[in-house]
Amino acid sequence: MEGQPSAIARRTITAIRDHLIHLPIPLEEIIPLDPEQLAEAVPEPEWRERILRGMTVLALMEREPSTAQLQWLQATATALDIGDTVVTSFRHVLDGQFNLVRLDIARRGFQKGATLSYLRDEGMDGALQIARHLLHREDRELAAHYRQLADYPEASLGRAYLAFIDDNGFSVPGERGGPPPPVVRHDCCHVLGGYDPSRAGECGVIGFQAGFGRSDPFYTILFALAQLQLGIGSTPFNDAETDQVTPEAVIHGLERGSKVNRDLISDWDPWDDFDKPLEEVREMYGIAP
């Protein structure tokens, strides 16, 4: 597109350069390519997919997407001869179809993986626990199960998780106001990655999850953008906001997460490691300081 990138777009591009590309590219010397030139320069389908997703994230960073951006994304998807699922999600944002945006996130983001993994591990008991949460009922047995982590070794992941919950005024699953059990995996990513629950910390941990997750990283990042940048709302636990995303935190988290050797959302049960020392768990899964 013509014209200079906005301040937040430039911050995002700079973060991608510094944390993902790792090349000293002077941004002011970059020559814009039209979709056809891009297609000629990038023949690999995998990179074409990544570029289109990156372009769409960049456009969504603007908070107020435009028709011109949509047309550019559509032209790029056509020239690259790849699916335009992410472009469709952009269109939903542009058209104010926010329930469809939430559906896109739920179907393709990390929440689906966390829920299916939990149900796979816990079976009918897990389904009943989630049902009680949806009905806003307390589950004292489930809450006690998490509260027993107070008896775990001091330096263990379990104690660190419980400290994260209590220090920030949160609740464990089963308590009034507590999250459904699958969200524990997200909270454990906060602990393992060292991310606090501030806006920047949420951006960082979402990028972190996008880096190691098997779900489409675009929709994991869209979760943060919907909640903190676009004012759409992607979680019932916090009010949606605008202009609060930290692109550097998202991209740096993505870099860290890409080096993790396990999907800690869709392929991990925290209870397998709650009794282990926190630092040992970090080392075991390749989580850099």
pLDDT tens digits, 170-179: 999 999 888 9
Helix 85-94 and helix 217-228, axial crossing angle in degrees, nearest 10: 10
In the predicted model, is pLDDT for residue 125 greater than 90?
A: no
pLDDT at res. 1: 52
Q: Quick one: 108 exposed, middle or buried, by C-beta within 10 A (0-12, 13-18, 19+)?
A: buried
CA angle 117, 119, 120 (to 5 degrees): 60
Question: Could you tell me the two tokens for 264?
Answer: 């800690």
CA angle 128, 131, 133 (to 5 degrees): 115
Residue 22 backbone zone (phi > 0: left; psi -120 to 50: alpha; other: beta): left
Q: Who has greater pLDDT, 82 or 118? A: 82
Q: Is 233 helix (H, G, I), strand (E, B) or coil?
A: coil
- Asked if 55 contacts 12 with a C-beta cutoff of 8 angstroms, the reply is no
In the predicted model, is pLDDT for residue 2 greater than 60?
A: no
How sure is the predictor about 119, in pLDDT bands with cuts at 50, 70 and 90?
confident
pLDDT in tens, 191-232: 999 999 999 999 999 999 999 998 889 999 999 999 999 999
- Asked if 67 contacts 74 with a C-beta cutoff of 8 angstroms, the reply is no
Backbone angles phi, psi at 230, to 5 degrees: -100, -10
Rounded to an integer, the average pLDDT of 1-15 is: 82
In the predicted model, is pLDDT for residue 235 greater than 90?
A: no
Instruction: Specify the DSSP class assigned to residue 4.
Output: P
* Residue keyed to tokens 């032209």: 75
How sure is the predictor about 251, in pLDDT bands with cuts at 50, 70 and 90?
very high
- Asked if 176 contacts 138 with a C-beta cutoff of 8 angstroms, the reply is yes
pLDDT at res. 227: 93
pLDDT in tens, 254-285: 999 999 999 999 999 999 999 999 999 999 99
Radius of gyration of the CA atoms of the chain, in A: 20
Cα–Cα distance, 271 to 157 (Å, whole number):
9
- The residues, any chain, with a CB within 8 Å of residue 274's CB and separated by 6 or more, are 149, 152, 156, 157, 158, 161
Question: Could you tell me the two tokens for 130?
Answer: 């989630």
Backbone angles phi, psi at 254, to 5 degrees: -60, -40
Cα–Cα distance, 62 to 55 (Å, whole number):
12
Cα–Cα distance, 175 to 195 (Å, whole number):
23
In the predicted model, is pLDDT for residue 27 greater than 90?
A: no
pTM: 0.90
- Core vs surface per residue 194-212: b (16+ CB within 10 A) or e: ebebebbbbbbbbbbbbbb
Could you give the percent of the chain with pLDDT greater than 90? 72
Torsion of CA 273, 278, 279, 283, to 10 degrees: 30
Question: Could you tell me the two tokens for 108?
Answer: 């393709």
CA angle 59, 62, 68 (to 5 degrees): 55
In the predicted model, is pLDDT for residue 3 greater than 70?
A: no
pLDDT at res. 11: 93
pLDDT in tens, 43-67: 999 999 999 999 999 999 986 789 9
Nearest to 105 by CA among 265, 237, 233, 253: 233
